[in-house]
Amino acid sequence: MKVLVPVKRVIDYNVKVRVKPDQTGVDLANVKMSMNPFDEISVEEAVRMKEAGIATEVVVVSIGPQQAQETIRTALAMGADRGILIKTDATVEPLAVAKLLAKVVADEKPDLVLVGKQAIDDDSNQTGQMLAALLDWPQGTFAYKIEKDGDALKVTREVDGGLQTVKLKTPAVVTVDLRLNEPRYASLPNIMKAKKKEIAEKSPADYGVDITPRLTVVKVTEPAARSGGIKVEDVAALVAKLKTAGAV
**Residue 228 covered by a domain:** no
104 within a domain of the structure (yes/no): yes
Q: Would 230 be classed as within a structural domain?
A: no
Asked whether residue 47 is domain-assigned, the answer is yes
| Host domain of residue 56 | 2-218
The number of distinct structural domains making up the chain is 1
One-letter amino acid identity for 40?
E
In this prediction the pTM is 0.86
Residue 67 belongs to some domain of the structure? yes
In a domain, 49, yes or no: yes
What is the domain-level CATH number for residue 72?
3.40.50.620
Domain assignment present for 212: yes
Residue 130 lies in a domain: yes
**Cα–Cα distance, 72 to 222 (Å, whole number):** 30
Buried b / exposed e over 33-44, threshold 16 CB at 10 Å, is bbbbbbbbbbbb
- pLDDT by 10s per residue, the chain, length 248: 999 999 999 999 888 888 888 888 888 888 899 999 999 999 999 999 999 999 999 999 999 999 999 999 999 999 999 999 999 998 899 999 999 999 999 999 999 999 999 999 888 999 999 999 999 999 999 999 999 988 899 999 988 888 999 999 999 999 999 999 999 998 899 999 999 999 999 999 999 999 998 888 888 888 888 877 888 889 988 888 888 876 66
